[in-house]
Amino acid sequence: MEAWGVALIKVVFIWAWTLIIATLMTWVERRGSAMIQDRLGPNVCGPFGILQPLADGIKLFTKEDIVPEKAKKILFALGPIMFALPAFSAYAVIPFGDKIVIGGKEIILQVADVNIGFLYIMAIGAMSVYGIVVGGWGSNNKFSILGGLRSTAQLISYEVPFGLALLSVVIIYGTFSLREIVLHQQGTFLGFLPNWGIFKQPLGFILFIVTAYCEANRVPFDLPEAESEIVAGYHTEYGSMRLGLYLFGEYVNMYTLSALMVTLYFGGWHIPYIDMSKFLGPVAYGIASFLVFFLKTCFFLWLFVWVRWTVPRFRYDQVMSLGWKSLIPLALLNLFITAFLVQLTI
């Protein structure tokens, strides 16, 4: 056990870091969409419009807070909180670097290295859907309820392949701890490939990335807030900072899922063929591992934006048939092959 002071610093650091990244992501999303659509995007607000998220935040905070008369007041207030809280707490078990030595003390760059990190991620990830359903139900608006119901239907169709894809990873590494999984990914695989999860689980990664987009409610699976069909979906009745929390939680979810992809399939803080800890000092190694992990995460964050402004939305029944008829059989097949191969090699 480490001192609680260190743990507190790590919690505050990763909380602030996640806030900054999620805030900047709204700017990246807007500039990225502008780039893809041959526009300029926000550029009058600070250099390159980088202060745009700040302006949005100030505006949302000072806007009138409307609670509809017929809304269920408690549920209406609970919705955004129940959506944003799990989004923030999910990052607790994901390692954001290897370790750093300060003052002779070795500090692991992870808030909590729990041995059930996987189950925690699964549980917390499934919690965020309650925020959508409760918000949609509490608004007492037909579009909001439709959005909430779509969200539940989407949850039961993607959560199973999501869990099965993660289970295959657990079978390979034989541990639930996310830090140990990253430690297993050092070195090479079959002599020439980096020992990353994607080379051991190619099908599993495809399943995971599809279900992750589903979990984050991003295009092509943004059915709960399908703008062209049900106004703004579950947050139709939300204005001011309550809406801000919903939008913000979405980006925090994106960041967590991107970090999870890097942790499980792209070797965490490892650079292929190079062992940084051999030629870097303990402090420099800690910072370098953090930066490597962050750069890899940035790529997946950009992928989220890239996909959003490239592909159209799936229809509701198409998501259902994709989930039940394609993803679950594929996930079961992947699980079966993985278990078979692991059994052969042991």
Partner 1 sequence: MADNKDNNSGVIKGPGWILTKLEWLINWGRKRSPWPFPYGTACCGIEMMATLASGYDMARFGAERVSFSPRQADILLEAGTITKKMVPVLRRIYDQMAEPKWVIAMGACACSGGVFRSYSTLQGIDKVIPVDVYIPGCPPRPEGLLYGLLKIIERIEKDHPLYKEAMKFKESEGGRICNF
List the one residue from 1, 4, 5, 44 that touches partner 1 (CB under 8 A).
44
> Residue 216 carries which DSSP code?
T
What residues have CB less than 8 Å from 46, skipping those under 6 apart? Answer: 52, 54
45/280 with CB nearer partner 1: 45
Q: How many residues bind partner 1 (CB under 8 A)?
A: 36
What residues have CB less than 8 Å from 34, skipping those under 6 apart? Answer: 40, 41, 42
List the one residue from 7, 11, 24, 51 that touches partner 1 (CB under 8 A).
51
Q: Is 66 in the site for partner 1 (CB under 8 A)?
A: yes
8/54 with CB nearer partner 1: 54
Q: Is 63 in the site for partner 1 (CB under 8 A)?
A: yes
How far is it, in rounded angstroms, from Cα 180 to Cα 173?
Answer: 8
* Range in contact with partner 1 (rule: CB under 8 A) among 10-18, 45-53, 128-136, 306-314: 45-53
Rounded to the nearest 5 degrees, what angle is found at the Cα of 240, between the Cα atoms of 234 and 244?
Answer: 65
Q: Is 39 in the site for partner 1 (CB under 8 A)?
A: yes
How far is it, in rounded angstroms, from Cα 126 to Cα 215?
Answer: 8
List the one residue from 11, 19, 24, 45 that touches partner 1 (CB under 8 A).
45
List the one residue from 18, 52, 151, 334 that touches partner 1 (CB under 8 A).
52
Q: Is 310 in the site for partner 1 (CB under 8 A)?
A: no
23/236 with CB nearer partner 1: 236
How far is it, in rounded angstroms, from Cα 87 to Cα 25?
Answer: 15
Residue 228 structure tokens? 């062209």
51/303 with CB nearer partner 1: 51
- Kind of pairing, strands 193-194 and 105-108? unpaired
Residue type, 291: L
Q: Is 3 in the site for partner 1 (CB under 8 A)?
A: no
Let me know: does 331 contact 161? Beta carbons within 8 Å: yes
24/339 with CB nearer partner 1: 24
Q: Among residues 204, 216, 167, 152, which one has the least CA distance to residue 327?
A: 204
How far is it, in rounded angstroms, from Cα 115 to Cα 143?
Answer: 41
Query: 């890097």: which residue's tokens?
Result: 262
Q: What is the torsional sign of CA 218, 331, 258, 235?
A: positive
CB-facing half-sphere around the CA of 133: CA atoms within 13 A: 12
Per-position x/- string for 213-252, each x denoting binding to partner 1 as judged by CB under 8 A, each - no binding: --------------x---xx--xxxxxx--x---------
Bridge-partner residues for 99, per DSSP? 108
10/235 with CB nearer partner 1: 235
Per-position x/- string for 266-305, each x denoting binding to partner 1 as judged by CB under 8 A, each - no binding: ----------------------------------------
Q: Is 32 in the site for partner 1 (CB under 8 A)?
A: no
List the one residue from 19, 24, 34, 342 that touches partner 1 (CB under 8 A).
34
Residue ranges binding partner 1 (CB under 8 A): 30, 34, 37-45, 49, 51-52, 54-59, 61-66, 227, 231-232, 235-240, 243
